Copies of this chain bind each other. A is one copy, B any other.
């Protein structure tokens, strides 16, 4: 809440190269935007507010971004880049089963919790007023759903499912994860009990979904396959 780390604060740090300092200012602009986005929507924060918060003159902005939209896209990229890497890593190791799906959900929710400001921005702008940001965020979430669907295809219990049904199932899970992300962001970051509560709710809701999967008729006929979610 308003520590507002400005980029200069008049300690020029002679050890830093020109390039390093430029990066630092860029960082300050991104952080300033994230700070302002705690309170406002992206389309209502101004370039001048951002530079003011970053401790820099308005015109300095143009050394880093062509306009606010470009800054917004940079924030989206930042938000998802590390998460994608973490999930890719989690998914390469070992076999794919119900446990692995649960793991991915835990990784995502933990990640969101640790990057609250980024994801508050993401949730706000997912259907916000700026079309290019909406598209970029939509693309990331869709990609996330596709990855999940192909993971699900590797779960033994689901091996006879049609691709279309796997995508529906993935959509259901993504929908739960979006909902959970929103819940995480509603509580203050210090509220660890609330965080655990949300996690626990998400786990049980995920289990509610997976429990019934054994009942789903694969080919459209009533041949009930076995094996629900097995821990």
Contacts and interface: CB of A to CB of B under 8 A. Distances in A.
A206 to B, nearest CB: 9
Contacts of A215: 211-212, 228-229
A175 B168 CA distance: 14
Q: How many copies does the complex hold?
A: 2
A214 B226 contact: no
A175 B206 CA distance: 12
Contacts of A43: 40-41, 43-44, 129
A43 B46 CA distance: 12
A215 B203 CA distance: 16
Contact of A214 (B44, B127, B171, B229): B229
Interface residues of A, number: 47
Contact of A201 (B39, B168, B176): B168
B228 A229 contact: yes
Contacts of A182: 127
Nearest to A213: B212
A111 interface: no
Contact of A229 (B176, B178, B204, B227): B227
A8 B196 CA distance: 57
B129 A44 contact: yes
Given A168-B204, A168-B208, 14 more contacts: A41-B41, A41-B129, A42-B129, A44-B129, A126-B127, A175-B176, A175-B179, A209-B209, A210-B212, A211-B215, A211-B226, A212-B213, A212-B228, A226-B231
A-B pairs with lowest CB-CB distance, top 9: A212-B212, A41-B129, A214-B229, A211-B212, A225-B231, A43-B44, A175-B179, A211-B215, A224-B231
5 contacts: A41-B130, A165-B204, A168-B201, A168-B208, A175-B178
